[in-house]
Structure 1
Amino acid sequence: MKSSRRFEIDGYHGTNLNGMIIAAEAIGFDASALKSTDKILDADTPVPFIAHLVKDDKSTHFVVVYRVSEKCIWIADPADKKRKLKRENFFREWTGYAVFLNPTPDFKPTKESKGKLARFIPLLHPHIKTISQCILASAILNVLGIIGSFYFGYIVDAVLPSKGYASLQILSIGMLLLTLFQVTLGVVRNQMLLHFSLKTSLSLNFSYLKHVLSLPMKFFDSRKVGEILSRLEDGAKVRGLLSGAALSVIMDVIMMFLAAVFLLMKNFTLFLVALAAVPLSTAVLWGFAKYFRENYRRQMSCGAETQSFLVESMNGMATVKGLNASGRTFDEIEKRIMAGTRVGYSGAIMSNIQGVITGLIDGWGGNVLLWVGSWFILKDTMSLGSLIAFNSILGYFLGPLKRLLGLQTSIQEALVAADRLGEVMELEPEENAEKSFLKPSSFSGGFTFQDVTFRYGTKRPVIEHLNLEIEPGSKIALVGPSGCGKSTIVKLMLKFYSPESGDILLDGNNLLDLDNANLRDHIGYVPQEVFLFSGSIRENLCLHKPDATFEEIVEAAKRAQAHDFITDLPERYDTVLSERGSSLSGGERQRLALARALLGNPDILIFDEATSNLDVITEKAIHETIRELANQGLTTIIVAHRLATVIACDTIFVMECGRITEFGNHYELVKKGGSYAKLWEYQKL
């Protein structure tokens, strides 16, 4: 079932039956979906199969049914765990739809990737020297601490009874100097740990972000922004375990070993008494481990959902206020926060219960130890000083042991975080690093679509069996109603997506064989929705060409009819824009996007509704610029609804339902009297 996510065939709200079948077939299964009208499951029903459920909150869900009996149904729930349900409870949620799978000869069993935490261990390799120094410093500190424990025992047993004033002064001064050395060494060790933690945190975050930026567009189509960003918080948990807990384990094991040696030398019997409580504490801690892992998974999922909704709400605040939906938006935010709070609260309750049980075991263990030790003193088999020293050294043994056992909380949290990070890190980037791609120094701009079909996820095809020829250096337009596939063609040209079938050629080369970065460097793209980053106008314009001179920036702005309004701003080209450029009008943002595209001196220009927000005068001036560029041999592709903006194009392709229904220049199409002519007459009214 994870394959539907891995192949990015589902969207924000999960996959559907068709998506499940496509995912199964992609990994070598013959899949079929059936609907049981009477919802009867008996011993003859083949298992396992995938069942489609509708939860109480009306959300849809898929589970695996792996066992059926007369009274119960056993399911494996990806969002929860394996559960046994009464038949009536299962039938209440089951829609009757089921997906049955049969392996084909193409199916190759693969083991689910284990040890996802292990994939991050290489982050520690550059810091082996620092780790070794920290371990050495910790070992020295532990030895010094144990020596201090003997100091107290010696004072009680030897110095005080003999009233050795001179010995007391010498020992006390020595302990003061020893303490000073301990503190100094501890500061140095902690500083090294801090540096190590910072370096691993940066390495992990940068590797995640770099990988995310290398993923194809379909990844971003199927995930919310908050879900992607929440993985950075998961990275902090993984880093905490690797840089903190991993070192702690090594240092605590060393400390336990040293302490155990001294404790055995002191009193073997008392040491066995101290160890008696360890198995009980271990059983309690690991008994709660599975619950905490599932609880942390639900907490992280709720947190990602809340963050995603908050990001969407803040970005759409104008719509929220315009529709007077602030109250409803708050209710939705509150619902998501409360859902996460309830999950966290239930986890806190279980943590308290665990703490009470382990605290009781520890308390009883300490009392029994004091009881047995006092009995040894009364029988003159142990001195008071030895008991004090033993109890002090015992802290160096039980303390690390408790920390090691207590790591189960951090381990469970980090395992869940590593699993969530691994879901993204295991995805293939949009380009195979092992493949060699073509990097032409320039393009003439001749595009050819050969029987191309494409769909988003599991939806119906947006374009079907499309054949399209764009001559190098020509100026063409794609027109048609919304949803007919115009913008999709542009995205395929930019290699945002790959066709489901068919081939796309550029200058005779298959687009799949061209290097993505090189291709996009030679295309000036002005999208339908202009995105401007927080920063100066100059920085936004140079996004495509960071090394552009100021003269080149000004020239591009003038050609895009943006120079005049820029010079009217307080800081001109150094004016800092607000988030997404919201302080500018839609037309001003479009002109900046056009200037940004022109600054890169592209071989191909693509305008996706790029002048829809401009006034008539500015739009006319920009189209004059586009005409000049086309006359210089640049292939120009215009996506438009307003036919008045494409009259001067060499060829106009009219699209309906993902197909080209007619093409020609403006006058030829009007003369034909087809859909273009009708649309032209309608827009003239």
Structure 2
Amino acid sequence: MTLPQKRSVPSAVVTNALRACRLGLVAVGVFTGIINVLMLTGSFFMLQVYDRVIPSRSLPTLLGLFVFIIVLYTFQGVFDAIRGRLLVRIGASLDQHLSRSAYEAVVKLPLVQGAGPDGLQPVRDLDQVRSFLGGLGPTALFDLPWMPLYLGLCFLFHVWIGLTALVGAVLLIALTLLTDVMTRASAREVSQSASVRLGILEAGRRNAEVLRAMGMIGRVFTRWAIVNERYMDTQQRSSDVVGGLGALSRVLRMLLQSSVLAVGAWLVINQQATGGIIIASSILTSRALAPVELAIAHWRNFVAARQSWRRLTDLVSRLAVPEPSLLLPPPVKEIAVEALTVAPPGTQRFVVQNANFRLEAGDGLGIIGPSGSGKSSLVRALVGVWPAVRGKVRLDGAALDQWNAEQLGDHIGYLPQDVELFDGTIAENICRFEDRPESAYIIEAAKVASIHEMVLRLPDGYETRIGEGGSALSAGQRQRVALARAVYKSPFLLVLDEPNSNLDAEGDHALTQAIAATRGRGGIVMIVAHRPASLVGIDLLLVMANGQCQHFGSKDEIVKRLAEGTRDPSQRSTIRAEAVRAKG
């Protein structure tokens, strides 16, 4: 299953985020207008000095004008600071409204379209937008609409001064558009290369032990170096374009200022303007074109922020699936699998096809089969991790998509094949990081998984921090803590994928006790295993091969059928022996 590629309508989350920023953006626009009016202070001061103060030699007039501009410049500085603070807070407001959606996109995206090169891209996109709003780029964009004001004043001074400034403005705007056209593709390449580059780095960090033990550091670095070189090349090309056009805009602006001075001087010589107009028009022209130059200088950040915003809003809109508001009663009867077909996220290759079976309260099902037969894919669909391509999984008659995700999680215990714990205490990991967990539930889950005594022997007991990924614990301890997390609050459906891969004899005994306890209270247990001997405490068996359910029924009957269907006598003996061990 893949996300649709067409542009989607903004979700309510994005709409609400923009609506929350509306008043702030209006305020920024108002302050921008005030600031741009106050920007006229310098021009009119110079005009008054040259046309009034110097001819009259009036010091009181000069002093009065100087005090007046001190007040105006002070207000300009205050309003400019307020505008900057508002933009920073608008960025913080967007982050506050969209951070949950960005985090959910990071978590959900691999389950919808498969793992990408940089799984943190949605959060990076949000950071990019917030960082841009806190910089100088937005102020230039807000100042651009005020260019006609300055150009109009230049025309009021004299038509030739206005035309000179207008020609310069048209040239700089053309440079801005050219910058957008020439940097759009390169900015996209920079973003894609950066994602791949960071993805390889993250993979190396996660697999540091393997790289070091098997001498793979240099080889993986070679792969990273190739991607890094591509990233540096695209970034360099983008920087060259922006830097070159930025330098050209600065030269053009300085040339335009000199041209305005030259035109003004020509008008003075011909007695069509005063000396004050020369200086004032030069300042006005500089101010009119400054936003364009600043926009070009920050254009790369603007393009990156625009692409980040589009990616983020499109992704949030596509992943925004309304959660059912009605809370269903807790399941207590059965789970039914109806013609279930499953494909890994981002692919169309079916790994499970037309699976059909039903389990009732108190049942225990073992799922066996060779590697690649679809066992883990099946249980991922049963717990709602992978969406079904066709068919349904129902708990007490309600399909999984009819359940609220948070509510459904309370009724499911899942121990995946690759155990992942989170940086925090053992208690936090067992209680699934609930805000206000009850200690009795945590201890009960630990006792069911037979780790209560083990935890008490640790330096800080249940408050022992286990580090990222549970690095402070052994593989067997991590698996048993994950088992305690799975049985927390006695879920109705307990799904265990290769739960004894890292367990010793004591751990196997704890696993058997957890299975018995779950079935004894009316829960349903499913265990994925390669061999029947791992299925102590289970009475039903599902055999999978090539993504299809080959056999389903009582464990004794299925084992007997498998033994009879095996031609090799030694294999028949092995299967029967495993069946005896599986009975406990």
Task: State how far apart, in whole Å, the 1-side matches of 2:349 and 2:21 are.
Answer: 51
Partner of 1:59: none
Task: State how far apart, in whole Å, the 2-side matches of 1:481 and 1:334 are.
Answer: 38
Task: State how far apart, in whole Å, the 2-side matches of 1:476 and 1:115 are.
Answer: 44
Question: Which of residues 243, 246, 264 is equivalent to 1:355?
Answer: 246
Partner of 1:182: 76
State the SS of the aligned residue for 2:472.
coil
- Mark the runs of 5 or more structure 2 residues left unpaired by the alignment: none
State the SS of the aligned residue for 2:238.
helix
Checking the alignment, whether the CA contact within 8 Å between 2:35 and 2:76 is kept in structure 1 is yes
Partner of 1:48: none
The alpha carbon displacement at 1:681 in A equals 5.3
1:170 maps onto 2:64 in alignment: yes
Partner of 2:26: 132
Q: Are residues 199 and 452 of structure 1, via their aligned partners in 2, closer, same or farther at CA, if it must alter by over 3 Å? A: closer
State the SS of the aligned residue for 1:6.
coil
1:249 maps onto 2:141 in alignment: yes
Task: State how far apart, in whole Å, the 2-side matches of 1:116 and 1:355 are.
Answer: 34
Q: Give 1:642-657 correspondences, 5 Å limit.
A: 642-657=531-546
Supply the AA of the counterpart residue of 1:330: F
Normalization by structure 1: what TM-score?
0.76
Partner of 2:41: 147
The alpha carbon displacement at 1:310 in A equals 0.9
Checking the alignment, whether the CA contact within 8 Å between 2:341 and 2:353 is kept in structure 1 is yes
Task: State how far apart, in whole Å, the 2-side matches of 1:365 and 1:174 are.
Answer: 30
Partner of 1:455: 343
The alpha carbon displacement at 1:239 in A equals 4.7
Q: Are residues 539 and 285 of structure 1, via their aligned partners in 2, closer, same or farther at CA, if it must alter by over 3 Å? A: same
Task: State how far apart, in whole Å, the 2-side matches of 1:475 and 1:348 are.
Answer: 62
Partner of 1:558: 447
Checking the alignment, whether the CA contact within 8 Å between 1:445 and 1:635 is kept in structure 2 is no
Checking the alignment, whether the CA contact within 8 Å between 1:646 and 1:652 is kept in structure 2 is no
State the SS of the aligned residue for 2:487.
helix
Equivalenced residues, count = 572
Partner of 1:680: 575
Q: Are residues 201 and 617 of structure 1, via their aligned partners in 2, closer, same or farther at CA, if it must alter by over 3 Å? A: closer
The alpha carbon displacement at 1:484 in A equals 1.6
The alpha carbon displacement at 1:459 in A equals 5.8
State the SS of the aligned residue for 2:388.
coil
Partner of 1:37: none
Checking the alignment, whether the CA contact within 8 Å between 1:117 and 1:415 is kept in structure 2 is no
The alpha carbon displacement at 1:320 in A equals 0.8
Supply the AA of the counterpart residue of 1:680: I
Task: State how far apart, in whole Å, the 2-side matches of 1:647 and 1:661 are.
Answer: 21
Partner of 1:45: none
Normalization by structure 2: what TM-score?
0.88
State the SS of the aligned residue for 2:39.
helix
Q: Give 1:218-367 correspondences, 5 Å limit.
A: 218-219=112-113, 221-224=114-117, 226=118, 228-239=119-130, 248-254=140-146, 256-367=147-258
Q: Are residues 207 and 507 of structure 1, via their aligned partners in 2, closer, same or farther at CA, if it must alter by over 3 Å? A: closer
Task: State how far apart, in whole Å, the 1-side matches of 2:262 and 2:547 are.
Answer: 85
Task: State how far apart, in whole Å, the 1-side matches of 2:487 and 2:61 are.
Answer: 86
Task: State how far apart, in whole Å, the 2-side matches of 1:333 and 1:648 are.
Answer: 48
The alpha carbon displacement at 1:360 in A equals 4.0
Instruction: String of CA shifts for 1:568-618, please: whole Å, max 9, x gaps.
Output: 222211111211112211110111111112222211222111122110123
Partner of 1:101: none
Partner of 1:630: 519
Q: Are residues 659 and 120 of structure 1, via their aligned partners in 2, closer, same or farther at CA, if it must alter by over 3 Å? A: closer
State the SS of the aligned residue for 2:40.
helix
Partner of 1:106: none
Range with greater deviation from structure 2 (396-405 or 585-594): 396-405
Task: State how far apart, in whole Å, the 2-side matches of 1:353 and 1:118 are.
Answer: 41
Checking the alignment, whether the CA contact within 8 Å between 2:339 and 2:355 is kept in structure 1 is yes
Partner of 1:192: 86
**As a proportion of its length, which structure holds more strand?**
1
1:427 maps onto 2:322 in alignment: no
Supply the AA of the counterpart residue of 1:271: G
Checking the alignment, whether the CA contact within 8 Å between 2:412 and 2:491 is kept in structure 1 is yes
Task: State how far apart, in whole Å, the 2-side matches of 1:551 and 1:371 are.
Answer: 86
Instruction: String of CA shifts for 1:203-224, please: whole Å, max 9, x gaps.
Output: 34333334554568233x2424
Supply the AA of the counterpart residue of 1:454: V
Partner of 1:530: 419
The alpha carbon displacement at 1:113 in A equals 3.4
State the SS of the aligned residue for 1:577.
coil
Instruction: String of CA shifts for 1:59-89, please: whole Å, max 9, x gaps.
Output: xxxxxxxxxxxxxxxxxxxxxxxxxxxxxxx
Supply the AA of the counterpart residue of 2:258: N
Task: State how far apart, in whole Å, the 2-side matches of 1:306 and 1:499 are.
Answer: 32
Checking the alignment, whether the CA contact within 8 Å between 1:481 and 1:656 is kept in structure 2 is yes
Checking the alignment, whether the CA contact within 8 Å between 1:504 and 1:510 is kept in structure 2 is yes
Partner of 2:410: 521
Task: State how far apart, in whole Å, the 2-side matches of 1:510 and 1:129 are.
Answer: 43
Partner of 1:548: 437
Partner of 1:601: 490
Task: State how far apart, in whole Å, the 1-side matches of 2:272 and 2:95 are.
Answer: 53
1:400 maps onto 2:295 in alignment: no
Range with greater deviation from structure 2 (273-282 or 416-425): 416-425
User: Pairwise CA RMSD of aligned residues?
Assistant: 3.2
Supply the AA of the counterpart residue of 1:333: W
Range with greater deviation from structure 2 (472-481 or 299-308): 472-481
Q: Are residues 279 and 305 of structure 1, via their aligned partners in 2, closer, same or farther at CA, if it must alter by over 3 Å? A: same
Task: State how far apart, in whole Å, the 1-side matches of 2:10 and 2:540 are.
Answer: 53
Range with greater deviation from structure 2 (396-405 or 552-561): 396-405
Task: State how far apart, in whole Å, the 2-side matches of 1:437 and 1:139 are.
Answer: 46
Range with greater deviation from structure 2 (175-184 or 328-337): 175-184
Task: State how far apart, in whole Å, the 1-side matches of 2:73 and 2:4 are.
Answer: 59
Task: State how far apart, in whole Å, the 2-side matches of 1:171 and 1:117 are.
Answer: 54
Supply the AA of the counterpart residue of 1:138: T
Range with greater deviation from structure 2 (467-476 or 132-141): 132-141
Supply the AA of the counterpart residue of 1:292: T
Checking the alignment, whether the CA contact within 8 Å between 1:286 and 1:408 is kept in structure 2 is no
Range with greater deviation from structure 2 (577-586 or 361-370): 361-370
Supply the AA of the counterpart residue of 2:94: T
Instruction: String of CA shifts for 1:480-513, please: whole Å, max 9, x gaps.
Output: 2222222222112112234333443433444444
- Mark the runs of 5 or more structure 1 residues left unpaired by the alignment: 9-111
Q: Are residues 386 and 514 of structure 1, via their aligned partners in 2, closer, same or farther at CA, if it must alter by over 3 Å? A: closer
Partner of 2:375: 486
Task: State how far apart, in whole Å, the 1-side matches of 2:21 and 2:477 are.
Answer: 50
The alpha carbon displacement at 1:305 in A equals 0.5
The alpha carbon displacement at 1:301 in A equals 0.3
1:390 maps onto 2:281 in alignment: yes
Question: Which of residues 99, 103, 120 is equivalent to 1:205?
Answer: 99
Partner of 1:572: 461
Task: State how far apart, in whole Å, the 2-side matches of 1:131 and 1:498 are.
Answer: 40
Supply the AA of the counterpart residue of 1:420: R
Task: State how far apart, in whole Å, the 2-side matches of 1:659 and 1:318 are.
Answer: 37
**As a proportion of its length, which structure holds more helix?**
2
Checking the alignment, whether the CA contact within 8 Å between 2:264 and 2:277 is kept in structure 1 is no
